[in-house]
Amino acid sequence: MEIAKGQRLPLSALITDGPASDFQVGLQISGMGAAVDFACFGLDAQQKLSDERYMIFYNQAKSPCGGIELSAPAGDNAGFLCRLDRLPASIDHLVFTAAVDGSALMRQLQSGYLRFLAAGREHARFAFTGADFQDEKALMLGDIYRKDGTWRFSASGQGFNGGLAALVKHFGGEVADEAPSSASPTSKLSLEKKIAATAPKLVDLAKKVSVSLEKHRLTETIARVGLVLDASGSMYAQYDKGKVQEVIERLLPLAVHFDDDGELDVWAFSQRVLALPAATMGNYSDYIKEADYGWRNWGMMSTNNEPAVIENVIQQYRESVLPVLVIFISDGGVSKNKEIQRLLTDAARLPIFWQFVGIGGRNYGVLEKLDTMTDRLVDNCGFFALDDLHSVSEQALYDRLLSEFPLWLKEARQKGILR
């Protein structure tokens, strides 16, 4: 079914298979040449964001009730899973928006749509082009709203001056203080506030993360984040003394900022590979002692097998539509140099950047030569070594972790690896 701009229809007329309260909204905008931020605002009867937990976007992937959740259908830029029966009575509107920053304008888009899917099948679509807009930097694409006890949809397709932060203010929400430089005001809507609510111990780290993100112009970047932990025998003391736990705590604020689901994917390896539960703000505090029954029960502490875990990570992320930042912790003893080089060379065509970090070890082998590796589509790796995690400040650690990632992002987009 094709929906025309301005049409208002009951959801039951749009979704004919199954209940009209459980469906996906897919969003697509092409031809912009700039990143587009999509969001769903859950508003009250006065069309205000009275509860900021119901602004669902890259930094807040799910509402508390589970009624709205980031979930992109295959082929779409973004999307939301909607379970209307779970929404509290205070939520009367779901407004779907798109916003750009910098010099991009919505009239530059080639084509776009908002579509409804249920049971994996498209039921209705509202399409638009850049000719429908002028110099706006944001769009209110559609509004699902309650009326007379039923849910309806309005295909608004309305341009809006200002970007995502302006939309937040328009709906009555609060935006984190703008950086004095050119950093976007969406730079943390607000990372510190979000972390303070569930992991107050990490607030100071969140502040330092925000500084580094602004410095490297990564405040608008949405990405998956993975962590690979060396769990070979030489790492025993690092685990036993709590230093690996500190790695989790220092990296989680990065994941909360970047990641579409606010989670840090984790692997451990020695001779074998173990994919661990994701680290989150809810489980981070004793993660190393408790994840998968704790590190002493992982069956690790033997010899290194980096190729096995690299292959595992590649399989996880090879089809990702988002860029991926993998932070790979090692204390050295690297010997399978040819296999590692082959895997990373082949992986250069994938949306994955590998940041290797040596801690307290030696003999990093090919990892120390990543910047000179040839025959790659792009430079997809970085490496630095620390004598000890405490040998650099937290601020310096974040700066070093992020120093090469934006360079890769730019080159990967130029080579068509990323959209």
Q: What is the mean pLDDT of residues 369-377?
A: 82
Task: Give backbone dihedrals phi and psi of 165, rounded to 5 degrees, phi first.
Answer: -65, -40
Q: What is the C-alpha separation between 151 and 164, in angstroms, rounded?
A: 26
Question: Does residue 159 surpass a pLDDT of 90?
Answer: no
Question: Does residue 191 surpass a pLDDT of 80?
Answer: no
Question: Does residue 184 surpass a pLDDT of 60?
Answer: no
The residue written with tokens 């991926």 in the block is: 324
The pLDDT, as a whole number, for residue 303 is: 94
Q: Cβ of 336: how many Cβ atoms within 10 Å?
A: 17
Higher local confidence (pLDDT), 126 or 176: 126
Higher local confidence (pLDDT), 267 or 108: 267
Together in a domain, 138 and 83: yes
Residues of the domain holding 47 = 2-172
Reference 24, options 76, 72, 60; nearest CA is 72
Instruction: Report the domain count for the chain.
Output: 2
pLDDT in tens, 66-91: 999 998 888 888 999 999 999 999 99
Together in a domain, 161 and 202: no
Residue 157 domain-assigned?
yes
Is residue 178 very low, low, confident or very high in pLDDT (cuts 50, 70, 90)? very low
Together in a domain, 309 and 379: yes
Residue 190 domain-assigned?
no
For residue 394, what are the contacts with CB-CB under 8 A and spacing of at least 6?
205, 208, 250
Is residue 189 very low, low, confident or very high in pLDDT (cuts 50, 70, 90)? very low
Together in a domain, 337 and 395: yes
Q: What is the mean pLDDT of residues 280-288?
A: 92
Residue 305 domain-assigned?
yes
Q: What is the mean pLDDT of residues 220-229?
A: 91
Question: Does residue 188 surpass a pLDDT of 60?
Answer: no
Residue 181 domain-assigned?
no
Question: Does residue 179 surpass a pLDDT of 50?
Answer: no
Q: What is the mean pLDDT of residues 377-401?
A: 86
Residue 185 domain-assigned?
no
Together in a domain, 108 and 168: yes
pLDDT in tens, 2-31: 999 989 999 999 987 767 788 999 999 988
Together in a domain, 213 and 155: no
**Structure token pair of residue 49:** 């964001």
Question: Does residue 381 surpass a pLDDT of 80?
Answer: yes
Together in a domain, 205 and 101: no
Together in a domain, 155 and 221: no
Together in a domain, 16 and 156: yes
The pLDDT, as a whole number, for residue 175 is: 66
Residue 316 domain-assigned?
yes
**Structure token pair of residue 344:** 């990373």
Surface-to-core class of residue 338, CB atoms within 10 Å of its CB (0-12 exposed, 13-18 middle, 19+ buried): exposed
Q: Cβ of 393: how many Cβ atoms within 10 Å?
A: 10
Residue 143 domain-assigned?
yes
Q: What is the mean pLDDT of residues 229-239?
A: 95
Mean pLDDT (the chain) is: 87
Together in a domain, 280 and 408: yes
Q: Which long-range contacts (CB under 8 A, 24 or more apart) does 396-400 make?
A: 397/250, 398/208, 398/209, 398/211, 398/212, 398/254, 399/212, 399/215, 399/216
pLDDT in tens, 32-44: 777 788 999 999 9
Q: What is the CATH number of the domain that holds 35?
A: 2.60.60.30
Contact 174, 48 (CB under 8 A): no
Q: What is the mean pLDDT of residues 178-199?
A: 52
For residue 236, what are the contacts with CB-CB under 8 A and spacing of at least 6?
301
The pLDDT, as a whole number, for residue 176 is: 52
Question: What counts of helices (H) and strands (E) characterise the chain?
Answer: 11, 19
For residue 100, what are the contacts with CB-CB under 8 A and spacing of at least 6?
32, 34, 35, 36, 37, 106, 137, 138, 163
Q: What is the mean pLDDT of residues 303-309?
A: 95
Question: What is the Cα 327 distance to its own chain's centre?
Answer: 15
Together in a domain, 147 and 228: no
Beta strands in 333-402 (DSSP E): 352-362, 381-386
Q: What is the mean pLDDT of residues 182-198?
A: 54
Together in a domain, 343 and 237: yes
Higher local confidence (pLDDT), 310 or 173: 310
Reference 144, options 194, 80, 191; nearest CA is 80
Q: Indicate the helix (H) or strand (E) that contains 411.
A: helix 405-414
Residue 179 domain-assigned?
no
Q: Indicate the helix (H) or strand (E) that contains 289.
A: helix 287-290
Q: Cβ of 262: how many Cβ atoms within 10 Å?
A: 23
Q: What is the mean pLDDT of residues 389-398?
A: 82
Q: What is the CATH number of the domain that holds 273?
A: 3.40.50.410
Question: Does residue 357 surpass a pLDDT of 70?
Answer: yes
Percent of the chain with pLDDT over 70: 93
Is residue 235 very low, low, confident or very high in pLDDT (cuts 50, 70, 90)? very high
